[in-house]
Chains A and B, each alone.
Chain A
Amino acid sequence: MNNDILFTATIHDYLSLDRTGTRLNTLADNFFHASRDLLQQIAEAMDDNNHTLWRSHLHTLKGIAGVAGARNLHDLCDRLRIKNNKNFIDTPEDVMTELHDAIDKYQDAIHQTLESTPGDNMRLC
């Protein structure tokens, strides 16, 4: 497991709940679905220069990243919040690229993890 991308203890615990990885698969699916919506909302908040709303959405994204075991995204949300604490320093394009990249890496890491489990229901969105 990739320590930079995943909270490995979290992923390990989810996998220990069922050998097929069904629970983790479901959680990851829910996470990807929810993160797509949140990314859209984060982009809109930046476009509107609504800093408060942007922070709120980023906070939510950090929370679901933590629950889903996405260390890279969780930590990135923290870094972005600190860097853009008062005003937007980064451009919307930069922020969105970083967030999308982090989610893609998490998706790959989860996919690899699930593929290496013995279950037969490893379908990720």
Chain B
Amino acid sequence: MLTHDPIDTETSPVHSGKTIKILVADDHCVVRDGIKMVVHGYFDNAEVIEAKDGDETLKTAAENPDIDIFMLDYYMPNNHGTKLLTVLKNSYPDIPVIFISSSEDYELMKDTIDNGASGFIPKSTSPQIIVQAINLALAGGTYIPKSLLTTANQNNSSPQPSTHGLTCRHMEILKLIADGFTDKEIAKKLDVSRHTVKAHITCIRNLLGAANRMIAIENARKLRLIE
């Protein structure tokens, strides 16, 4: 599942009953304290461990094999950004990584998602949305803020009026979904990452006003976009 704010998942944790262990990494204590406060405030069973830079993140991760999710500042001393993400994904492929950043740059966000991040949260994001983004990432989804999705839609190349803003790539993916292909199969077919496929599907859903991909297919058929 992939979505943007307002998110259609509950604020309650998906790991209800189980302790959620979150590694929060940021070089500034106000940010770490803020995230910690939010996590402890909204999750009944949460343990937050902290790191101040990229190297400490890797060290702490190695010492804590039961981490459920990483929340990383994009810019940190001693290893950061997609470089740090790649190292983490190679060592812990199943643990979601969410970036928190002062930057709201579309290209930066796209780059992190393309490289396997499960979310990109501007630091001005409200606590409830942060919690929902964590839940979404823990459930296997990817969180992208609405403001950045809007940019994504604007940046999509040459939307055709007859396709309701859907790009050629969107149409390609829409048809593959309708033919019953999974995200993984679509990613393989198009030679892109699953996260990229998910990002495209979110754009498709938004453009077709659909709450989920099945409704997107229904709407696309009603609009005669696909057979």
Contact pick for A30, options B33, B75, B125, B127, CB 8 Å = B33
Interface residues of B, CB < 8 Å — how many?
26
Q: Is there contact, CB below 8 Å, between A34 and B75?
A: no
Q: Which A residues lie at the B interface, using CB under 8 A?
A: 7, 9-10, 12-14, 17-18, 23, 26-27, 30-31, 34, 59-60, 62-68, 71, 74
Q: Is there contact, CB below 8 Å, between B37 and A66?
A: no
Q: Is there contact, CB below 8 Å, between A17 and B122?
A: no
Q: Is B28 an interface residue (CB 8 A)?
A: yes
> What is the CA–CA distance of A13 and B42 in the complex, to the nearest angstrom?
10
Nearest Cβ distance between residue A80 and chain B, in whole angstroms? 13
Nearest Cβ distance between residue B63 and chain A, in whole angstroms? 26
Contact pick for B128, options A9, A23, A34, CB 8 Å = A9
With A17-B42, A60-B102 in contact, is A67–B126 under 8 Å at CB?
no
Closest Cβ neighbor of B27 among chain A residues: A60
Q: Which residues of A contact B29 (CB under 8 A)?
A: 30, 34
Nearest Cβ distance between residue A59 and chain B, in whole angstroms? 5
Name the residue in B73, B125, B127 with the highest tally of chain A Cβ atoms < 10 Å from its Cβ.
B127
* A and B contact pairs by CB, cutoff 8 A, 27 listed: A7-B126, A9-B126, A9-B128, A10-B124, A10-B127, A13-B38, A13-B126, A17-B127, A26-B37, A27-B34, A27-B37, A30-B33, A59-B102, A59-B103, A60-B102, A62-B123, A63-B26, A63-B28, A63-B73, A64-B28, A64-B34, A64-B123, A66-B123, A66-B125, A67-B123, A67-B124, A71-B124
> What is the CA–CA distance of A64 and B101 in the complex, to the nearest angstrom?
10
Q: Is there contact, CB below 8 Å, between A68 and B30?
A: yes
Q: Is there contact, CB below 8 Å, between B75 and A59?
A: yes
Q: Is B31 an interface residue (CB 8 A)?
A: yes
Q: Which residues of A contact B103 (CB under 8 A)?
A: 59
Q: Is there contact, CB below 8 Å, between A66 and B124?
A: yes
Contact pick for B41, options A10, A12, A23, A59, CB 8 Å = A23
Nearest Cβ distance between residue B198 and chain A, in whole angstroms? 26
Closest 5 CB pairs of A and B: A66-B124, A66-B123, A63-B102, A17-B41, A13-B127
